[in-house]
Structure 1
């Protein structure tokens, strides 16, 4: 946890302030109980006023301690999360991880949310609760060994036993929820992407109904988690009641005047540790997310980008999404060679996007070549710029997004010129962007295209490069694309098919036609019909 070094003082101060605030809160309740007991003896009025003044002072101190503790702990947490996020992106941008995957970004955001909870809801409060428990156990020795045993037993049960018992059950429920999320994500992706075709063929309602089992499973998992949380609270509250009864039994006979003070101290202690139990039950799971983000990726695992990429070959490629029942790709065999331009066309849902994804990720049926020999998949990373269907950007400046935080060599002046050419001169290289709320679909396409221009690699592999662009921008983009020597392009825009060396028509996961534009147009098959429909549409 080396990245904590800059926040160590803030974290230490947060724990000290949290401990001080907790002890002041307990003292406040203890004084209230003492005042109740003292009133039995009809004390002087000024003593009551003094105790009330001290209670008010303790209340102000508790609020001040809590406010400053929250300020420091949140500041430290968000600083380290920001640095951890940036370091993680920098270390993974050039590895074998599919950082263009929406699921990858979604899971990463979940990890960072868990890291935030790890420190704000688990680490700081839990350390404070343990320290206060130890101090109260020591203090309870004054009241007698029985009190010390009771305090120790309660602390062990509430802070360790109950969270440990429920940790495994909640972890299984959360894993089941994530597995269901993955299945639902795949179904939703295809439903949204293919909705036009589904609506035309009147299959949209049936496809929508197919989402119901996963939605019901998610509700069941949510209900199970809520039940576990309620059960934890019920057990803890039962223990509290039992502890209060034992306190009364232990003190009523010999020292009845202690009852109000000890009971209020116990209630204050319970209020302090009850919120810690549920987050503590997720400690193991959250710690694994922290470990995932803290793991340094060795240089040996970085892709070897030295080899020249001369060909990509798919041989008998079949692919099925996890938990799906049908293959999305079926027996695809095709070779893409350096210096060739390939267009992949077909209706929505035919498998074009999935084929692009499989070509750009290592798999048993896809081979990359350097010369005449098979080579590591790192050759693709070193030679190909890729535009997937789902684009990823970071909450950073335009310059950081174009250069991937300095991984790509591009000057601010060159980026500014690219922005102007792509009709985005209202942005400067230093403009901060928020991917989730600021960039439109067309802006995402253009900014990713500018990133590809900056990379300047000989191979371009692109999925729908001109989608969501107006006609003038489409022409600019196509002109730049077709100037590249090697292309693999999936597109619905058939206006430039004659510029490609090979065209591959896909239908229901298969390539049903391949060849040159002239040859396929003469055959008057699927490509000819698609071109005619496109021209009629225009």
Structure 2
């Protein structure tokens, strides 16, 4: 249990909820204790009843009370067990609901930064496993452990009431099961369990990376190598699991041996203590049978504690998620048509030596159209993150109407619309997908937006019109059609600044030109920042900026650059096939 108290010393995920629901927790522990108390009392009473009935009582009233108690304890045990299960799961589900809400909020706040601090597999582990681990911490460790210790103390004190020396012996003997075995489990098996989880987590990360690059594996003809790479961690986990099960078998066998010894000793002690006359002899079987129901909670303590290293790792991971949470700037709002201004902005990613954005200044007035060009890795995507507020400049400022963009994040959806390379369509109806741009939009508003992007005829020919399912990731539609549906969303969103992040990169030249004409036509009154690699449709913009090594290398209107800049003229002619 090394590090147990250190883990919870600065914890702000687990302990606060234990305190918030402490009354319900106390009820859970009480019901759990009463479940096994009724089981023990039923066996104790039954042992006495069997012995007493075997002496042929001259009147049924002599054993009437034990008969009634047998019925009461027999009904009480399943009743308390049922109530304990309902209450404990209600308690855990309340906490898990709070956990998941808080976790998703933490991930949302770090939606961009989290990709710099966590791999995709790590994020999946946090979302899919860590909260479940904390849930199991209560159900499989905390509840059995506390209930087991309560029963342990009850048994020892109960026997010590009759004979303190024998009570001390039971304290030591049962202590092997409830103290020594859990400590042995967490020492020997806990580390192995932790290693298995670590291999599994690394497997998630590698498998995610491999799946994302699956096309390259197949093209290179390395199918066998791909499968072998996935088999290795599976074999490692299987080896650790076999060792785990082997240890569990021997541990459970040892617990049964020690428990059996405790039962034999109790029967022996009861035989010495309660055989002075016939009436006292009836209690020998009662004491001998009473201990049997406690074997279940006693044995489950070791398995629950052995998983502590896994739970500890999960608790530390979710706490680190909060520690990495960026500080939120004081929020405000602006009104009117926004003017975007970058004032000597510079930016470098943590740990990187090269400055990605180097002293950029830019001003865009309402309705202006800007094209950002440049080779890959020159800072175009980083500049968009700075404009949206996903990243904070190392120096300089990004403002809208003079207000820093960091202070406008709560108004972000009303200020910016984004159409990127692969807009996502959800597996629901056309109507629902387009209405995501404005959940308050009427059906007529959706129809008007779809008509504006020239998809009304296509939607009208679908089997169920606007109620047609678009299928997973919009696979029912072509790339150009998916872009137009996403453009319809942006029209409903009605944000004053639109960012086009290479929306035509995967389209053929004819579809690309037609889509660009549509985009700039329906967004004619919006401020547009268009990131592109080539010059098709460049005449739609008011100014062009080339980014090279984090700086604006050349800038001007398309006409000015074509007239005065030989490099721009060559690129333009190349795009037009001259």
Q: Alignment partner for residue 440 of structure 2, among 395, 413, 416? A: 413
Q: Alignment partner for residue 72 of structure 1, among 67, 80, 87? A: 87
RMSD of aligned C-alpha atoms? Answer: 5.9
Q: 1:389 to 1:203 in 2, by over 3 A?
A: farther
**Offset, 1:69:** 1.9
Q: Alignment partner for residue 31 of structure 1, among 26, 35, 45? A: 45
Q: 1:171 to 1:281 in 2, by over 3 A?
A: closer
- Whether 1:129 and 2:143 are equivalent positions in the alignment is no
Q: How does 1:451-462 map to 2 (within 5 A)?
A: none
**Offset, 1:294:** 6.6
Q: How does 1:267-278 map to 2 (within 5 A)?
A: 267-278=292-303
Could you report, residue by residue, the CA deviation over 1:283-338 in whole angstroms, capped at 9, with x for unpaired residues?
Answer: 4642563465578958995155999767998999999xxxxxxxxxxx99898986
Asked whether the equivalents of residues 133 and 155 of structure 1 are also in contact (C-alpha less than 8 Å), the reply is yes
Q: How does 1:454-533 map to 2 (within 5 A)?
A: 485-486=528-529
Tell me the residue number matched to 2:311. 286
Tell me the residue number matched to 1:508. none
SS of alignment partner, residue 210 of structure 1? helix
Q: How does 1:128-527 map to 2 (within 5 A)?
A: 128-255=147-274, 257=281, 258-283=283-308, 285-286=310-311, 289-290=314-315, 293=318, 297=322, 301-304=326-329, 341=371, 368-371=393-396, 413=440, 440-442=472-474, 485-486=528-529
**Offset, 1:148:** 1.0
- Whether 1:41 and 2:41 are equivalent positions in the alignment is no
- 2: CA distance, partners of 1:109 / 1:302: 26
- Whether 1:60 and 2:75 are equivalent positions in the alignment is yes
Q: 1:118 to 1:450 in 2, by over 3 A?
A: farther
Asked whether the equivalents of residues 348 and 394 of structure 2 are also in contact (C-alpha less than 8 Å), the reply is no
Normalising by structure 1, report the TM-score. Answer: 0.64
Tell me the residue number matched to 2:5. none
Could you report, residue by residue, the CA deviation over 1:75-106 in whole angstroms, capped at 9, with x for unpaired residues?
Answer: 12211221232234335533588456743243
- 1: CA distance, partners of 2:91 / 2:213: 45
**Offset, 1:197:** 3.5
Q: 1:55 to 1:522 in 2, by over 3 A?
A: farther
Asked whether the equivalents of residues 147 and 297 of structure 2 are also in contact (C-alpha less than 8 Å), the reply is no
Could you report, residue by residue, the CA deviation over 1:409-458 in whole angstroms, capped at 9, with x for unpaired residues?
Answer: x98526999987589xxxxxxxxxxxxxx994349998999699979696
Q: 1:199 to 1:499 in 2, by over 3 A?
A: farther
Q: 1:495 to 1:95 in 2, by over 3 A?
A: same
- Whether 1:9 and 2:19 are equivalent positions in the alignment is no
Q: 1:521 to 1:24 in 2, by over 3 A?
A: farther
Q: 1:194 to 1:84 in 2, by over 3 A?
A: closer
Tell which deviates more after alignment, 216-225 or 83-92: 83-92
Mark the structure with the bigger radius of gyration: 2
- 1: CA distance, partners of 2:382 / 2:240: 31
SS of alignment partner, residue 440 of structure 2? helix
Asked whether the equivalents of residues 303 and 381 of structure 1 are also in contact (C-alpha less than 8 Å), the reply is no
Tell which deviates more after alignment, 91-100 or 202-211: 91-100
Asked whether the equivalents of residues 47 and 286 of structure 2 are also in contact (C-alpha less than 8 Å), the reply is yes
Tell me the residue number matched to 1:322. none
- 2: CA distance, partners of 1:43 / 1:73: 44
- 1: CA distance, partners of 2:245 / 2:497: 54
Could you report, residue by residue, the CA deviation over 1:384-404 in whole angstroms, capped at 9, with x for unpaired residues?
Answer: 99989999x9xxxxx9xx99x
Tell me the residue number matched to 1:93. 108
Could you report, residue by residue, the CA deviation over 1:509-538 in whole angstroms, capped at 9, with x for unpaired residues?
Answer: xxxxxx99x9799689xx98xx99xxxxxx
What 5-or-longer segments of structure 1 have no aligned partner?
Answer: 320-330, 394-398, 404-409, 424-437, 505-514, 533-538
Could you report, residue by residue, the CA deviation over 1:335-366 in whole angstroms, capped at 9, with x for unpaired residues?
Answer: 898687568999xxxx99xx9799979xxxx9
Could you report, residue by residue, the CA deviation over 1:18-75 in whole angstroms, capped at 9, with x for unpaired residues?
Answer: 2222211110011122233324423347255653443232111111112122212211
SS of alignment partner, residue 291 of structure 2? helix
Could you report, residue by residue, the CA deviation over 1:450-486 in whole angstroms, capped at 9, with x for unpaired residues?
Answer: 6999796969596989999xx9998899669996644
**Offset, 1:203:** 2.3
Tell which deviates more after alignment, 114-123 or 442-451: 442-451
What 5-or-longer segments of structure 2 have no aligned partner?
Answer: 1-14, 276-280, 332-339, 365-369, 399-403, 427-431, 452-469, 476-481, 548-554
Asked whether the equivalents of residues 48 and 285 of structure 2 are also in contact (C-alpha less than 8 Å), the reply is yes
- 1: CA distance, partners of 2:203 / 2:383: 21
Q: 1:186 to 1:281 in 2, by over 3 A?
A: closer
- 2: CA distance, partners of 1:261 / 1:268: 13
- 1: CA distance, partners of 2:154 / 2:77: 18
**Offset, 1:140:** 0.6
Asked whether the equivalents of residues 371 and 538 of structure 2 are also in contact (C-alpha less than 8 Å), the reply is no
- 2: CA distance, partners of 1:170 / 1:415: 60
Normalising by structure 2, report the TM-score. Answer: 0.61
- 2: CA distance, partners of 1:66 / 1:91: 37
